[in-house]
Structure 1
Amino acid sequence: MNKILSILSITALSAILSSCEKLLDKQPLSQIPESGYFRTEQDLEFFTNPLYNMLNMDDRQQSDHLVQMTLSEVIIGGNRRTVPNSGGGWDWGDLRRINTFLARVDQAEDEAAIRKYSGVARFFRAMFYFNKIKRFGDVPWYDAELGSSDEALYKPRDPRELVMTKMIEDIDYAIDNLPDEVSVFRINKWTALALKSRFCLYEGTFRKYHGGEEVDKYLELAAAAAKEVIDAGRYRLYTTGGEEKSYFTLFSQDDADPGEFILAYDYSASPRVNHNGSSFTMSAAQGRPSYTKKFVNTYLMTDGSRFTDQSGWETMTFIDEVKDRDPRLSQSIRNPKFTLSDNRPFPNKFSTSVNGYHPIKFLQDETLGYDVRVGYSSNDLPIFRYAEVLLNYAEAKAELGTLTQADIDISIKLLRDRVGMPNLDVATANANPDPYLLSAEAGYTNVSAANIGVILEVRRERGVELVQEGFRLDDLVRWKAGYCIDQPLLGIYFPGPGEYDLTGDGQTNLVLYTNGNKPADEVGVEMFEIGIPVNNGGMILSEGTKGNAFYHSNIALAGFNEQRDYFYPIPINERSLNNNLDQNPGWVDGLNF
């Protein structure tokens, strides 16, 4: 999600306006004074404010669940992924600010402020290194302020275990010293616990599936951190609007719900601090996003049964396949139930969604006006929310093999209760694992455990609940399931030429025709010739004159490289400056594979 104004600007603006005269007497923050600064709580707050720009939630991240008109380099793979000369995520500016702050914070006179803002800095240092470990694996650990001539700048990468140990020390300090008051736009104790549950779950599952020691240690830490948030009772799921609306409304309303959003981006219409979530969905010029058929298939029926257990599920048309499904599907894509606030139907449009499963998550109502449609959305967006903490707890316990029905009842049951779905039954799931979620065409082929059924169900729940919140690629990496990216990127099924009603109101919304048989144009009806790419006025179907919409049929996907693609390459220039940095496996300078 593109931020037009950062959270830093929002939080600092009011303070700047209210104390201009005092600020004029201060030295610039770009020039770090040896004395006279770092004295007051306001000094500490202002110096740490830029760290909030490290926070990220990517609603556009492409994966096997969400694609766009132009596929990302990660999805295409092969020689589309190369070693960069510079950049590539190997940046350390934020860490320098953190370590500079921690080297000087003791100059302050307020002990409580020292502990609080040291907690802020150490929270962000743990987050900084979490992002580096995910991207590069082993990285050099720095916890002291360094100058350009310090030899330590040229040391080799430190072992992953050392970095993880330091991260846990940092996050535990943050947990102990950050405020415990609920604060949606400022980190607190609960944000730190949520981060700990996130990165310990990542590390535990990464080691389990890629090979490593102390798997249980990290999974137990993840479960314990999540459980502390649960037991505290400070947060609860948003349910206003009931089973048919609450999930959608959670993400579309202007103000973040303080019950579920542990930390959020603060956007507003006045002053104008916006993002482009609505135009991403509404505009044909901003990616034309679509969920994949494979992902949509994972949504359960409203009675809790599996959609893919039904006879003929593969060839169901849109109206039939979205009927009686988990309500989160109807609150995540355009479908027959979805209308705007003026009750107008909102049909799928292939001109704005490449394969027809058109996302509406984070969409503000089109009737709010032109500004919202073209990019000025003001709904707050999640960075950490309680739903993720519940899922982290359930998954950590499932991977440990200790998940009980009581654990489900305090985690996944709450997510399903919000939308009126039956609870997950542990014994039933383990007795009958979902063959679709185990299949090579659509599932996870490297999972094997006595409780495999419930592991798969937790993964299903995670995909459905957290779609478009930037988790999917990280999940595939830690589960060593990069092969999922190579599974088919298909869309809605069409049995052949003809007229189609995509809203269920009895009116034709779309017509498919064969060469030379185009009917007369109709207002409000999309028309596509089968066998011609959408960009040229047609639609490609996966089986010729029938099948699933297949926008990317002409893209040769090189495939996920299991020996290379779980980590990113370290840039060429960085290794030229520091000869002690070795390259990640499979990456070769100047060569494409």
Structure 2
Amino acid sequence: MFHFNLRQMTIKKITALFLILTCFACEDYIDTLPEGQENSENYFNSKSDYEDALVGVYDLLSTTYLNNILGEIASDNSLCGGETPTDVLDWQQIDDMTHTPDNGALRSVFQFMYAGISRANYIVEFQDKIDFEGKEQLLAENLVLRSYYYFELVKFFGDVPLYTNGRITIEESQSIPRTPKAEVYAKLEADLQSTIDDLPWQQNQNGRVTKGTALSLLGKIYLYQEKFELAATTLDLVINSGQYQLVDDFSTIFLNSNENNSESVFEVQYFGGEGGSFDCFQCVEGNIAVGFMGPRFTGGDFAPFTSGFSFNPPTQELYNLYSADDERRDATILSMESFIAENPSVTFSLGNELDYTGYYNKKYIPYAEANSGDVNLTHSNNYRAIRYSDVLLMAAEAYNRSGLNDSKAKDYVNLVRVRAGLDEIQTSGTNLTQDIYKERRLELAGEGHRFFDQVRTGRTNSIPNFSNKNVLFPIPRIEIELAGNNWEQNPDY
């Protein structure tokens, strides 16, 4: 058992270990690498050294706030929003599908994920240096985290350079080409399969990787490759384990008071008590996305919420897709009209009027709490990265699209629907496929999955301004240049 808190023991307390990676927003993470190698061979001399190193790998999960918000803004679920049509221009461009290889948000995703991978590789590089009790589990957690970071990269960029044996060096970046995503997926499959026996179903500490995490991620990777039979059997291991169950009341799932609940398969832990600033987003221990997505309240009593920057407003079309008796609608989307009707003293700013819809992402809305400044950046809302309902719907899709078992697929979908207060469905075949797709959208709206679901299933027609090249995001231009122009750009960018 580890004796640390995954969020409160922050990167600042292990700066000496991760000097090579702590300033990748200021200059390229590869550029600073040689400095960190000076004393690295003198590390990993005790179990606590490995445990501290693993904290650093977990710590970069905090940067996936950006993946979450971009996965919604790029889709038909929401618009960019903000204060003006040029507020956070990188996000506006992604919303409009006008982004280029110079988009700063996409470079951040690329850097953040590779920083996490390089930290994981640091442990891999020295994994044989000493033995200690619990080493197998620690190394298994590390591989699952690395697989998670790589999966995010493949979702965004397709083929990506595959580094697995150690920290990423300048020499490697200039000699290793982009690896075909099928090869990356094959490596992730092998790594995840190798971890299953060394991971427990339950951890003594919230946020730690479990057997359910590894199996669910593996099942999702199979699903993305349309390996439906493997996805179905893998996800069934999670479902049949009896370790997870749907929370009875959907409206409580995303409350800060109900984090790490029975539905949580993998949850990114955030902490609002340390503080942070706009100078270093990767240093912030709070959930940055939350403050960006809240309404811009200007007066009155708007408890229990607090003000935000009005990004990522859900569309009218998404709101209308929910039936009036679907309990998920009002737990997923905050209608400002309804909120004002119940709280007439409240005033707020429309922000970017071109994108104002009257709706906000209630799943990740900022709550008033005793968080440290900058209070807009340090909200403690955990990110529910993999929920049990997601596992059920992935398994349903796998059983249906493989033709293996429509009856089981319906059973899984209906578990999710009944929890939402809806009647069971009785469809089959392609009609059931469409029902599953719709159910995923309604169940997971606002959680960052929508755009990637649309791309992998070829249902991108409803995304405004979408063209064929947008199935992938461009590799950041500066990263290609730093790699000695060794990497080809994605088509048509």
TM-score scaled to structure 1, two decimals? 0.64
Q: Could you tell me how far 1:278 is from its partner in structure 2?
A: 6.5
- Give the one of 473, 476, 482 matched to 1:568: 473
Query: How big is each residue's C-alpha offset from its partner over 1:95-120, in whole Å with a ceiling of 9 and x where there is no partner?
Result: 3322221121112221x432112112
Give the equivalent residue in structure 1 for 2:78: 66
Q: Identity percentage over the alignment?
A: 24
| Partner Cα separation in structure 1 for residue 160 and residue 371 of structure 2 | 46
1:167 Cα deviation (Å)?
1.0
Shift of 1:328: 1.0
* Separation in structure 1 between the aligned mates of residue 367 and residue 117 of structure 2, nearest angstrom: 40
Asked if 1:42 corresponds to 2:61, the answer is no
Query: Is the Cα contact below 8 Å between 1:263 and 1:382 reproduced in 2?
Result: yes
1:308-342 deviations in Å (ceiling 9; x for gaps): xxxxxxxxxxxxxxxx43121122234599779xx
Answer whether contact 1:64 1:484 (CA < 8 A) is retained. yes
Residue identity in the other structure for 1:328: R
Letter paired with 1:478: R
Instruction: Quote the offset at 1:81 in angstroms.
Output: 3.0
Gap change, CA 1:100 and 1:75, over 3 Å in 2:
same
- Partners in 2 of 1:359 and 1:27 — Cα distance? 38
Structure 2 residue 283 is the aligned partner of structure 1 residue 283: no
Residue 463 in 1 paired to residue 441 in 2? yes
Aligned to 1:293: 316
Match of 2:303? none
Q: Could you say what secondary structure the match of 1:154 adopts? A: coil
Residues 108-257 of structure 1 correspond to what in structure 2 (within 5 A)?
A: 108-110=130-132, 112-145=133-166, 148=169, 150=171, 153-182=174-203, 183-204=205-226, 218-239=227-248, 246-257=249-260
Report matched runs for 1:220-369 at 5 Å: 220-239=229-248, 246-267=249-270, 274-275=286-287, 277=290, 280-283=293-296, 286-287=309-310, 289-300=312-323, 324-334=324-334, 344=343, 351=350, 354-363=356-365
Q: Which amino acid aligns with 2:318?
A: F
Secondary structure of 2:127's aligned partner = helix
Distance 1:147 1:364 in 2: 36
Kindly indicate which of the two structures has a greater share of residues assigned to helix: 2
1:481 corresponds to: 459
Is there any run of 5+ residues in structure 1 with no aligned partner, and where? 1-6, 17-22, 205-217, 240-245, 301-323, 428-450, 487-558, 588-593
- Looking at structure 1, the residues matched to 192 and 409 of structure 2 have their Cα atoms a distance apart, in angstroms, of 25
Letter of the 1:405 counterpart: S
| Other-structure match for 2:22 | none
For the 8 Å contact 2:367–2:379, the answer to whether it is kept is no
How much has 1:148 moved relative to structure 2? 4.3
Aligned length: 429
Whose Rg is larger? 1
Native 8 Å contact 1:68 1:354 kept in 2: no
Q: Which residue of 2 aligns with 1:578?
A: 484
**Partner SS state of residue 383, structure 1:** strand
Contact 2:213-2:265 within 8 A present in 1 as well: yes
Contact 1:279/1:373, CA 8 A, preserved across alignment: no
Q: CA RMSD in A?
A: 3.7
Q: CA deviation at 1:155?
A: 3.0
Q: Distance in 1 between matches of 2:459 and 2:445?
A: 17
Q: How does 1:418-497 map to 2 (within 5 A)?
A: 418-427=419-428, 451-486=429-464
CA distance in 1 between counterparts of 2:326 and 2:345 reads 19
CA contact (8 A) 1:125 1:170 kept: no
Partner of 1:506: none
What are the superposed Cα offsets for residues 172-209 of structure 1, whole Å, 9 maximum, x if unpaired?
A: 122222232245311111111121122221222xxxxx
Residues in 2 aligned to 1:149 and 1:358: alpha-carbon distance in whole angstroms? 43
Shift of 1:89: 4.3
What is the CA–CA distance in structure 1 between the aligned matches of 2:251 and 2:7, rounded to whole Å?
Answer: 28
1:331 and 1:37 map into 2 onto residues whose CA distance is 48
Q: What is the distance in 2 between the residues matched to 1:11 and 1:383? A: 21
User: How far did 1:274 drift?
Assistant: 4.2
Letter in 1 for 2:131: E
